Amino acid sequence: MIAITLGTRPEIIKMAPIIRECEQQDIDYFLIHSGQHYSFEMDQTFFDELQLPRPHYNLNAGSGTHAWQTGKIMAGVEKVLLENPPDLILVQGDTNTVLAAALAASKLQHAIGHVEAGLRCFDRRLPEEINRVVTDHISDYLFAPTTKAVGNLRDEGIDESKIHLTGNTIVDAIYQNLQISCGGYDVAQKLGLQPGEYFLVTFHRPENVDSRATFSELMNGLNAIHDEFSLPVVFPMHPRTKKQMTATGLSPGSIHSIDPVGYLEFLQLEAGARCILTDSGGIQEESCILGIPCVTVRQNTERPETLLVGANVLSNVSCAEIVKKTQEILARGSGWVNPFGDGTAARNIVNILDHSG
């Protein structure tokens, strides 16, 4: 019996291929939804959209400080594991849900599998880095998506027998979910966009949007991209980002600001973009897999593979730098080799667990 823990929408997306693989191989599992970002009620349509079963347990953790949220999820997961002890608990990524579930399972002496293990940005100021490092060091199965991630785990002295190179389930998810999205309507066509003839933007990190001066410079950079290339710049605005724009009195200018779209619709927009500008780790991966150039407005990244293959560049927030980096990445073209695997990561993970007994 496997307990699969989910807390945020990126976790749901990346765990979906494992859930589907368990279904195909008739492996017993149950789902724990922490509700770290949303209540389960708000996520119901997301599970439906991805054609996934509903979670068996809903913790409704909600937002709060890191300590409060982690503690609440930890207590909730502990209660579930005591009531329904699994053979192993699977966690994915670097959220508070991941850390809380892994800690709860470790205290109860349950085996832990960490999907997407070994990622490092080497900046301990970031809570995500703490979460992923601690989880790796208390896990029994470390499912590393790339050889770089494997190297990081080895460098930290983790037992070689625990480390498994599997590829990244995001590749599986993109292939599967693009196929699902074909059953819906074409969001780019609805917005009047032509394939390869628009820029796609997403920003939400506090370091980019909480300061008015920084956010203003970022928006200047996006407007400069619009002017430089004479193409639409589409910005599905995260609620947090929209709130900050209103609070700071900034204007989108020439940017085509739209309400957030569903995951499958956003995947369509990614696949059709000329270039993506973001501060999201997951979108760096998705753009790389889809063959779309990416500019990441951050000081560092835990996805260095995207930089190494030439699919991504880092930029500071200055207007001139954003334009320069966008020109640079577009001049490279998109002939890189996807470093995240061939779309069989979920099968690899489930097979490793099945063969381990």
Among residues 305, 51, 341, the alpha carbon closest in space to that of 169 is found at: 341
Annotation says 33 is catalytic? no
Residue 284 pairs with which residues in a beta bridge?
none
Give me 322's structure tokens. 């954003």
Sheet of strand 29-33, all strands in order from the earlier edge strand to the far edge: 57-58, 29-33, 2-6, 88-92, 111-115, 141-144, 163-165
* Distance, first Cα to last Cα, the chain: 11
Q: Residue 9: how many CB atoms within 10 A of its CB?
A: 16
CA distance 219 to 234: 12
Tell me the one-letter amino acid at 310.
Answer: G
Tell me the one-letter amino acid at 219.
Answer: M
CA distance 73 to 81: 12
Cβ atoms of residues 272 and 188 within 8 Å: yes
Give me 143's structure tokens. 């499912």
Tally of residues, the chain: 357
Q: Residue 254: how many CB atoms within 10 A of its CB?
A: 14
CA distances from 2 to 26, 109, 283, 291 (A): 12, 14, 28, 34
CA distance 233 to 257: 8
Phi, psi of 227 (to 5 degrees): -70, -40
Single out the catalytic residue among 56, 137, 164, 204.
204
Cβ atoms of residues 27 and 58 within 8 Å: no
Cβ atoms of residues 56 and 28 within 8 Å: no
Active site residues: 204
